Chain A
Amino acid sequence: MAQVSHVADEQITSSTSPSNSITLRIARYNPEKDDSSKFMEFTISYKKWTTVLEAILDVKKYFDHSVAVRYSCRQATCGSCGMMINGKPRLTCFTKISELDSDVVTVEPMNNFPIIRDLAVKFERLFDSHHKIKPYLIRDDSEIPSETKEFLQSPEEVDQYLQFANCIKCGLCNSACPTMATDSSFVGPQALAQAYRYVADSRDKGKDSRLKIIDESHGIWRCHFAGSCSQVCPKGVDPAMGIQFLRGYLLGFRS
C-alpha cells in the first residue's frame, strides 16, 4: 500500500531547511487476527530534524490512525518508544530520519518481546526480571532517622555505578541480546546491569542476595558477551561491562 503524504509541509512552519521524502515501511500485525506480519508503506516528507516517531505519528494522523505505537516523552527519557529501525533497536524519538542515510526506513516491533499489536510490545518479562533483582537499596538502617538523613558517598563511590543509573528501561538491550532470542528464561542484560548498579553502590548491603538471584541456570552465566546490548543503549549504559564486573564478584576476583 503506497500513499503520499501532504503532511510535513502543513505541520512544520519553518521553511529554511530543504524537505526530502522517504518511504516509511511499518510492520503491521494483530496477533488475534493475523498469521504473520506485513508491511505498509507510506511516503513521508521530512526535515533534517524530523524523528522516526514524528514520521510514524504523521502516518497515524493523516493516513492510518489504527497503527499501534507506544510513546510518551519524545525526549529519550521515558523509554517507551523502542523499535527496530532498519533492523537495529533504537528509540524512535531519539532517531532522526536524516541520520539513517536511507531512502527507505523500516520500522518493526522490538525483537525478543511479545507483540501486542503492530509496533507495541509487552514489557512484562523485562519488568519482572528488573523487579526480581531487587532494584532498590537494601540495608537494615534505611528506615532509622538520623541527623544527616542521608547516606554520604564520595564522588569515586558514585562513579562506580552512575552510568548504570541512567537506564530508562526501554528494553533495547534485551531486544539486541542474542541469548534473549533463544532462552525465554534468561534474566537479560537490562536486569543484570541493574543488579550491578545496586551491587556497586556503596550504600547498598544486599550484594549477597542479588548475586544469589542471578547465579542460576538462566542467570548471568548465559551471557555470551556478544556486546550488542552496549552497542544499542541510547543512554550510554554498558550492560556488557556490568555483567563482566558481576562475574568478577561470583568468580572471586572482586569483593
Chain B
Amino acid sequence: MRESTIMKIHYGTALAAIALVAVHILMRLTMGFAESLEYQSVLANYKFIPYAAMLELILILLAVHGFNGLRVILLELKQGRIYEKSVSYGCVMAMIALIAYGSNTIIMTNMGLI
C-alpha cells in the first residue's frame, strides 16, 4: 500500500475517533462516574446495539491509528529491510489481534454469553 494511502487512513481514523470518543464521553456524562462503571451498567451498554456498534468502531479506529503510529515511530528509530518488514507485519498482526480480542468481548457480551 502506498504511504499516502496509509497516512490518509491515519488522519481519517484520528478525526473519526475524536468525534466518536466525544460522543462516548458525552454518553458517560449522562450518569455519575462511579455509576457508569458499575458492572450492570457496563453490560447494559454492550447490550444496546447502536452503542456497542459505536464502541466496536472506536476500537477499530484507535487500533488502526495507534498501531500505524507505533509503526511510524519504530521505523524512524531504526532502519533495515528485515527490521522494517518485521515492524510493519508485527504492527498489523498486533492490530488484528487487539481488534479480534476487543470484538470478541463486545460481541459475546452483546449476545449475553458473558
Query: What is A's interface to B at a CB cutoff of 8 Å?
Result: 179, 182-186, 215-219, 221-222, 250-251
Inter-subunit contact B4/A217 (CB<8 Å): no
Beyond A182-B77, A183-B76, A185-B79, 7 extra complex contacts between A and B, CB < 8 Å: A179-B76, A218-B75, A221-B3, A221-B4, A222-B72, A250-B4, A251-B4
Q: Which of B1-23 contact A (CB under 8 A)?
A: 2-4, 6-8
Does A215 contact B3, Cβ atoms closer than 8 Å?
A: yes
What chain B residues lie within 8 Å of A186 (beta carbons)?
Answer: 76
With contacts A217-B84, A251-B8 taken as known, whether A182 is within 8 angstroms of B3 at the C-beta atoms is no
> What are the residues of chain A within 8 A of B79 when measuring CB–CB?
183-185, 218
A222 to B3: give the CA distance in the assembly, Å: 10
A219→B3 contact, CB < 8 A: yes
For chain B, give the interface size range. 10 to 19
Closest 8 CB pairs of A and B: A250-B4, A183-B76, A215-B4, A185-B79, A221-B7, A184-B79, A221-B3, A182-B76
Q: Is the interface of A mostly helix, strand, loop or mixed?
A: loop
Give the docked Cα–Cα distance between A215 and B3 (Å): 6
Query: B48-90: contact bitstring with A at CB < 8 Å (1 yes, 0 no)?
Result: 0000000000000000000000001001110100001000000
Tell me the bound Cα distance from A221 to B8 in angstroms: 11
Nearest-neighbour CB distance to chain B for A18, whole angstroms, equals 49
Contacts of A219 in B (CB 8 A): 3
The complex places the Cα of A184 from the Cα of B78 at a distance, in Å, of 8
A117 to chain B, nearest CB (A): 26
Q: Chain B: which residue is nearest A250 at the CB level?
A: B4
Contacts of A215 in B (CB 8 A): 2-4
Residues on A with C-beta less than 8 A from B2 are 215
A179 smallest CB distance to B (angstroms): 7
Residues from chain B with Cβ under 8 Å of A217 in the complex: 3, 75, 84
B76, A222: Cβ atoms closer than 8 Å: yes
Convert B75-113 into 0s and 1s, putting 1 for each residue whose CB lies closer than 8 angstroms to a CB of A.
111010000100000000000000000000000000000
23 A-B contact pairs sorted by A residue (CB < 8 Å): A182-B76, A182-B77, A183-B75, A183-B76, A184-B79, A186-B76, A215-B3, A215-B4, A216-B3, A217-B75, A217-B84, A218-B75, A218-B79, A221-B3, A221-B4, A221-B6, A221-B7, A221-B72, A222-B72, A222-B76, A250-B4, A251-B4, A251-B8
Q: Which residues from A are CB-within-8-Å of B77?
A: 182
* A186 to B2 CA separation, bound complex (whole angstroms): 16
Q: For the complex, what is the distance from the CA of A216 to the CA of B5, rounded to whole Å?
A: 10
Q: Contacts of B72 on A, CB cut-off 8 Å?
A: 221-222
For A222, the chain B residues whose CB sits under 8 A away are 72, 75-76
Identify the closest chain A residue to B76 (Cβ).
Answer: A183
CB A77 to nearest CB in B, in angstroms, measures 34
Tell me which residues across on chain B come within 8 A of A250, comparing CB atoms.
4
Q: Nearest A residue to B2 by beta-carbon distance?
A: A215
Task: Give A184 to B77 CA distance when docked, in angstroms.
Answer: 9
Q: Kindly state the separation between the CA atoms of A217 and B3 in the bound complex, as whole angstroms.
A: 6
Closest approach, in angstroms, between the C-beta of A109 and any C-beta of chain B? 22
CB distance from B54 to the nearest CB of A (A): 27
A244 to B76, CA, bound (A): 20
A250 to chain B, nearest CB (A): 4
Chain A hits for B75, CB < 8 A:
183, 217-218, 222
| Cβ distance A224 to chain B, nearest Cβ, rounded Å | 9
